[in-house]
Amino acid sequence: DVKVTQSSRYLVKRTGEKVFLECVQDMDHENMFWYRQDPGLGLRLIYFSYDVKMKEKGDIPEGYSVSREKKERFSLILESASTNQTSMYLCASISAPGHPNFGSGTRLTVV
């Protein structure tokens, strides 16, 4: 079974801090995704990557950046955390012809 690991389950950060959320998958998947999930809004795509060093903006990239230096690792960076970035963050990976696999999520609170 594919394993997608997110480094932290819960995280509390202060406004203005630089925050790194890490995601690692163990199945050599090409595509990796970062979403945030908020009540009533569903999963919204922040960024995705289809290869090492390749990235594309999703629907809500403002305030975020990503890094994919190795195929197995996709990092989400909050350059200067703000309270409106308090959310559940979910990482997923997929490789044809499979289905998306999710990490367990990181609940980030910015105070």
Partner 1 sequence: QKEVEQNSGPLSVPEGAIASLNCTYSDRVSQSFFWYRQYSGKSPELIMSIYSNGDKEDGRFTAQLNKASQYVSLLIRDSQPSDSATYLCAVVRGDRGSTLGRLYFGRGTQLTVWP
Applying CB under 8 A, the residues found at the interface with partner 1 are: 30-31, 33, 35, 40-43, 45, 48, 50-51, 56, 58, 90, 92, 94-97, 99-100, 102-105
Q: How far is the CB of 77 from partner 1 (least distance, A)?
A: 20
> Cβ 80 to partner 1, closest distance in Å?
27
* Of 57 and 73, CB closest to partner 1: 57
Question: What is the nearest approach in angstroms of partner 1 to the Cβ of residue 40?
Answer: 7
**Cβ partners under 8 Å of residue 25, min gap 6:** 2, 3, 4, 5, 32, 72, 74, 93, 101
Query: In the complex with partner 1, which residue's Cβ is closer, 30 or 77?
Result: 30
Per DSSP, the residues of 52-110 read: TTEEEE-S--TTEEEEEEETTEEEEEESS--GGG-EEEEEEEE-TTS--EE---EEEEE
Q: Which is nearer to partner 1, 40 or 53 (CB)?
A: 40
Nearer to partner 1, 15 or 109 (CB): 109
Report, in Å, the least distance between residue 16 CB and partner 1.
28
For residues 81 and 19, what is the distance between their CA atoms, to the nearest angstrom?
Answer: 7
Query: Does an H or E element contain 34, and which?
Result: strand 31-38
